[in-house]
A and B are shown apart, each in its own frame.
Chain A
Protein backbone atom coordinates (compact mmCIF):
# COMPACT_ATOMS: atom_id res chain seq x y z
CA UNK A 1 0.00 0.00 0.00
CA UNK A 2 1.07 3.54 -0.72
CA UNK A 3 2.35 5.55 2.24
CA UNK A 4 1.67 8.78 0.37
CA UNK A 5 -2.11 9.00 0.44
CA UNK A 6 -4.18 10.34 -2.41
CA UNK A 7 -6.54 13.05 -1.15
CA UNK A 8 -9.61 14.00 -3.18
CA UNK A 9 -12.39 16.22 -1.88
CA UNK A 10 -11.06 15.78 1.65
CA UNK A 11 -11.03 12.00 1.44
CA UNK A 12 -7.88 10.01 1.87
CA UNK A 13 -7.15 6.97 -0.24
CA UNK A 14 -4.30 4.53 0.28
CA UNK A 15 -4.41 3.05 -3.20
CA UNK A 16 -4.29 4.97 -6.46
CA UNK A 17 -5.95 2.10 -8.28
CA UNK A 18 -9.62 2.60 -8.98
CA UNK A 19 -11.45 -0.42 -10.26
CA UNK A 20 -14.64 -0.98 -12.19
CA UNK A 21 -17.33 -3.60 -11.79
CA UNK A 22 -18.29 -4.51 -15.33
CA UNK A 23 -17.92 -7.74 -17.28
CA UNK A 24 -17.67 -10.09 -14.31
CA UNK A 25 -19.55 -13.37 -14.44
CA UNK A 26 -21.03 -13.01 -10.98
CA UNK A 27 -21.22 -10.67 -8.00
CA UNK A 28 -19.05 -13.09 -6.04
CA UNK A 29 -16.37 -12.96 -8.72
CA UNK A 30 -16.61 -9.16 -8.64
CA UNK A 31 -16.15 -9.13 -4.88
CA UNK A 32 -13.11 -11.40 -4.99
CA UNK A 33 -11.42 -9.48 -7.80
CA UNK A 34 -11.92 -6.14 -6.07
CA UNK A 35 -10.63 -7.51 -2.80
CA UNK A 36 -7.53 -8.90 -4.54
CA UNK A 37 -6.91 -5.57 -6.30
CA UNK A 38 -6.37 -3.67 -3.06
CA UNK A 39 -8.26 -0.71 -4.48
CA UNK A 40 -10.14 1.71 -2.22
CA UNK A 41 -12.39 3.15 -4.92
CA UNK A 42 -14.90 1.06 -6.85
CA UNK A 43 -16.96 2.48 -9.69
CA UNK A 44 -20.54 1.41 -10.33
CA UNK A 45 -23.06 2.46 -12.94
CA UNK A 46 -26.34 4.16 -12.13
CA UNK A 47 -29.18 2.46 -13.94
CA UNK A 48 -32.91 2.22 -14.06
CA UNK A 49 -34.05 -0.89 -12.18
CA UNK A 50 -35.54 -3.53 -14.46
CA UNK A 51 -38.81 -4.03 -12.62
CA UNK A 52 -40.03 -6.82 -14.88
CA UNK A 53 -36.94 -8.95 -14.31
CA UNK A 54 -35.66 -7.87 -10.94
CA UNK A 55 -33.00 -10.11 -9.48
CA UNK A 56 -33.19 -10.28 -5.73
CA UNK A 57 -29.44 -9.80 -5.43
CA UNK A 58 -27.85 -6.42 -5.80
CA UNK A 59 -24.24 -5.50 -6.49
CA UNK A 60 -24.24 -3.42 -3.32
CA UNK A 61 -24.79 -6.59 -1.30
CA UNK A 62 -21.24 -7.54 -2.28
CA UNK A 63 -19.45 -4.22 -1.77
CA UNK A 64 -19.02 -3.13 1.82
CA UNK A 65 -19.37 0.67 1.87
CA UNK A 66 -17.29 0.75 5.05
CA UNK A 67 -14.43 -0.87 3.18
CA UNK A 68 -14.71 0.79 -0.21
CA UNK A 69 -15.60 4.20 -1.53
CA UNK A 70 -18.38 3.51 -4.00
CA UNK A 71 -18.06 5.88 -6.93
CA UNK A 72 -21.19 6.04 -9.09
CA UNK A 73 -20.56 6.90 -12.72
CA UNK A 74 -22.87 8.36 -15.31
CA UNK A 75 -21.80 6.13 -18.17
CA UNK A 76 -24.80 5.58 -20.36
CA UNK A 77 -25.71 9.27 -20.40
CA UNK A 78 -25.55 11.12 -23.70
CA UNK A 79 -26.05 14.66 -22.43
CA UNK A 80 -24.61 16.71 -19.60
CA UNK A 81 -28.14 17.34 -18.34
CA UNK A 82 -28.83 13.60 -18.06
CA UNK A 83 -25.47 13.05 -16.40
CA UNK A 84 -26.21 15.72 -13.81
CA UNK A 85 -29.66 14.26 -13.20
CA UNK A 86 -28.20 10.79 -12.67
CA UNK A 87 -25.49 12.23 -10.43
CA UNK A 88 -28.10 13.76 -8.18
CA UNK A 89 -30.05 10.51 -8.11
CA UNK A 90 -26.88 8.61 -7.23
CA UNK A 91 -26.33 10.94 -4.30
CA UNK A 92 -29.94 10.43 -3.25
CA UNK A 93 -29.36 6.67 -3.25
CA UNK A 94 -27.02 7.33 -0.40
CA UNK A 95 -23.88 5.38 -1.23
CA UNK A 96 -21.66 8.37 -1.95
CA UNK A 97 -21.55 12.10 -2.48
CA UNK A 98 -18.82 11.62 -5.07
CA UNK A 99 -19.52 10.98 -8.72
CA UNK A 100 -17.54 10.03 -11.81
CA UNK A 101 -19.08 12.30 -14.38
CA UNK A 102 -18.97 11.14 -17.95
CA UNK A 103 -21.01 11.58 -21.09
CA UNK A 104 -20.87 9.34 -24.11
CA UNK A 105 -19.44 11.21 -27.08
CA UNK A 106 -19.44 8.47 -29.68
CA UNK A 107 -22.14 5.83 -29.78
CA UNK A 108 -20.05 3.26 -31.62
CA UNK A 109 -16.85 3.41 -29.57
CA UNK A 110 -18.48 4.82 -26.39
CA UNK A 111 -15.57 7.24 -26.09
CA UNK A 112 -16.48 10.04 -23.69
CA UNK A 113 -17.13 13.62 -24.76
CA UNK A 114 -14.60 15.03 -22.31
CA UNK A 115 -14.18 18.43 -23.93
CA UNK A 116 -17.92 19.03 -24.08
CA UNK A 117 -18.33 17.87 -20.52
CA UNK A 118 -15.72 20.26 -19.16
CA UNK A 119 -17.15 23.22 -21.04
CA UNK A 120 -20.72 22.58 -19.97
CA UNK A 121 -20.30 21.28 -16.43
CA UNK A 122 -19.52 24.79 -15.19
CA UNK A 123 -23.17 25.73 -15.51
CA UNK A 124 -23.93 22.98 -12.98
CA UNK A 125 -21.08 23.79 -10.63
CA UNK A 126 -23.32 24.92 -7.81
CA UNK A 127 -25.28 21.67 -7.90
CA UNK A 128 -22.42 19.21 -7.89
CA UNK A 129 -19.33 18.63 -5.85
CA UNK A 130 -16.86 15.81 -5.62
CA UNK A 131 -16.61 15.29 -9.35
CA UNK A 132 -14.16 13.06 -11.19
CA UNK A 133 -14.26 13.77 -14.90
CA UNK A 134 -13.67 10.99 -17.34
Chain B
Protein backbone atom coordinates (compact mmCIF):
# COMPACT_ATOMS: atom_id res chain seq x y z
CA UNK B 1 0.00 0.00 0.00
CA UNK B 2 1.00 3.61 -0.46
CA UNK B 3 0.70 6.15 2.31
CA UNK B 4 1.89 9.71 2.80
CA UNK B 5 3.80 10.42 6.01
CA UNK B 6 4.55 14.06 6.77
CA UNK B 7 4.37 14.81 3.09
CA UNK B 8 6.67 11.94 2.06
CA UNK B 9 5.37 9.02 0.00
CA UNK B 10 5.99 5.66 1.66
CA UNK B 11 5.23 2.08 0.77
CA UNK B 12 4.43 -0.66 3.26
CA UNK B 13 3.04 -4.16 3.34
CA UNK B 14 -0.31 -4.63 5.04
CA UNK B 15 -1.08 -5.08 7.84
CA UNK B 16 0.90 -2.12 9.08
CA UNK B 17 0.05 -0.45 12.37
CA UNK B 18 0.90 2.98 13.68
CA UNK B 19 3.28 1.37 16.16
CA UNK B 20 5.10 -0.39 13.33
CA UNK B 21 5.35 2.86 11.40
CA UNK B 22 6.87 4.65 14.42
CA UNK B 23 9.34 1.82 14.94
CA UNK B 24 10.35 1.99 11.29
CA UNK B 25 10.96 5.71 11.66
CA UNK B 26 12.85 5.24 14.94
CA UNK B 27 10.35 7.34 16.89
CA UNK B 28 9.21 6.81 20.47
CA UNK B 29 5.46 6.53 20.73
CA UNK B 30 5.41 8.46 24.01
CA UNK B 31 7.02 11.52 22.41
CA UNK B 32 4.81 12.03 19.39
CA UNK B 33 1.25 12.75 18.36
CA UNK B 34 -0.20 11.05 15.31
CA UNK B 35 -2.95 12.29 13.06
CA UNK B 36 -4.36 10.15 10.25
CA UNK B 37 -6.54 11.78 7.63
CA UNK B 38 -6.87 14.77 10.01
CA UNK B 39 -8.12 12.57 12.87
CA UNK B 40 -6.01 12.33 16.03
CA UNK B 41 -5.18 8.76 16.99
CA UNK B 42 -5.14 8.00 20.72
CA UNK B 43 -1.80 6.67 21.86
CA UNK B 44 -3.46 3.57 23.26
CA UNK B 45 -4.71 2.75 19.77
CA UNK B 46 -1.27 2.88 18.10
CA UNK B 47 -0.64 -0.91 18.35
CA UNK B 48 -3.97 -1.87 16.82
CA UNK B 49 -4.60 0.96 14.36
CA UNK B 50 -4.02 -0.44 10.88
CA UNK B 51 -2.97 1.97 8.18
CA UNK B 52 -4.69 1.74 4.82
CA UNK B 53 -3.75 2.53 1.25
CA UNK B 54 -4.02 6.25 0.62
CA UNK B 55 -3.82 7.29 4.27
CA UNK B 56 -2.25 10.63 5.03
CA UNK B 57 -0.29 10.52 8.27
CA UNK B 58 1.05 13.47 10.23
CA UNK B 59 3.51 12.85 13.05
CA UNK B 60 4.34 15.71 15.37
CA UNK B 61 6.75 16.10 18.21
CA UNK B 62 8.31 18.82 20.28
CA UNK B 63 11.38 20.84 19.44
CA UNK B 64 13.17 23.71 21.08
CA UNK B 65 11.99 27.18 20.32
CA UNK B 66 9.01 29.05 19.13
CA UNK B 67 9.44 30.87 15.87
CA UNK B 68 9.83 28.89 12.66
CA UNK B 69 13.31 27.69 11.82
A residues whose Cβ falls under 8 Å from a Cβ of B:
20-24, 27, 30, 43-52, 54, 56, 58-60, 70, 72-73, 75-76, 86, 88-90, 92-95, 102, 104, 110
CB-CB under 8 A for A22 and B60, given A49-B32, A89-B33, A92-B42:
no
Determine chain B's interface SS by DSSP, over half rule: mixed
Q: Does B61 contact A (CB under 8 A)?
A: yes
Residue among B28, B41, B62 with most chain A CB within 10 A: B62
Q: How many residues of B contact A (CB 8 A)?
A: 29
Smallest CB separation, A40 vs chain B (Å): 17
Flag if A51 contacts B8 (CB, 8 Å).
yes
CB-CB under 8 A for A86 and B60, given A20-B66, A58-B31, A92-B43:
yes
